[in-house]
A = this chain, B = another copy of it.
Amino acid sequence: MEIIKPRTLSGFMELLPDKQLRFEKMVEILRRTYASYGFAPLDTPAIEDAKILLAKGGGETEKQIYRFQKGDSDLALRFDLTVPLAKYVALHYNDLAFPFRRFQISKVYRGERAQRGRFREFYQADIDIIGDGKLDILNEAEIPAIIYKVFRGFGLSRFQIRVNNRKILTGFYGMLGLADKSGDIMRTVDKLDKIGPDKVRVILLEDCGLEEAQADEILKFIAIRGTNGEVLSALEGYAGKNEVFDAGLAELKAVTANLAAFGVPEENFAVDLTIARGLDYYTGTVYETTLLDHPEIGSVCSGGRYDNLAGYYIEKQLPGVGISIGLTRLFYVLDEQGLLNPALPAAPADALVLPMTADPGPAIALAEELRGCGLRVQLYCEQRKFKQKLNYADKLGVPFAVLLGEDEIAEGKCSVKCMATGEQRRLSPQEAAGWIREEVNTDCPVILEK
Residues of A within 8 A of B (CB): 1, 3-9, 12-17, 20-21, 23-24, 35-49, 51-52, 55, 66-71, 73, 75, 87-88, 90-92, 95-97, 99, 101-102, 107, 109, 111, 120-121, 131, 134-136, 138-139, 142, 145, 257-258, 261-263, 310-315, 348-349, 352, 360-362, 364-365, 368, 371, 375-379, 381-383, 392, 395-396
Contact = CB atoms under 8 A, between A and B. Distances in A.
A115 to B, nearest CB: 14
B111 A70 contact: yes
A4 B51 contact: yes
B1 A312 contact: yes
A143 to B, nearest CB: 11
A372 to B, nearest CB: 9
29 contacts: A5-B313, A6-B90, A6-B91, A7-B49, A7-B91, A9-B47, A13-B45, A14-B45, A24-B41, A36-B371, A37-B376, A38-B378, A39-B348, A45-B121, A46-B46, A46-B107, A47-B120, A66-B75, A68-B68, A71-B111, A99-B382, A101-B348, A136-B383, A142-B364, A145-B368, A258-B364, A261-B361, A261-B364, A262-B368
Nearest to A264: B368
Contacts of A90: 6
Nearest to A129: B381
B378 A37 contact: yes
B40 A21 contact: yes
B46 A4 contact: no
A314 to B, nearest CB: 7
A245 B109 CA distance: 50
A377 B36 contact: yes
Contacts of A4: 51-52, 55, 312-313
Contacts of A257: 361
A381 B136 contact: yes
A151 to B, nearest CB: 16
A364 B136 CA distance: 14
A131 B8 CA distance: 22
A8 B381 contact: no
Given A6-B313, A315-B3, A23 B38 contact: no
A24 B368 CA distance: 25
A321 to B, nearest CB: 10
A381 B138 contact: yes
Given A1-B311, A68-B68, A38 B349 contact: yes
A4 B49 CA distance: 11
Contacts of A352: 38
A107 B46 CA distance: 9
A23 B42 CA distance: 10
A67 to B, nearest CB: 8
A437 to B, nearest CB: 13
A47 B121 contact: yes
A38 B248 CA distance: 53
Interface core residue of A23, A37, A101 (most chain B CB under 10 Å)? A37
A95 to B, nearest CB: 5
A126 to B, nearest CB: 15
A142 B361 CA distance: 11
A45 B37 CA distance: 30
B41 A136 contact: no
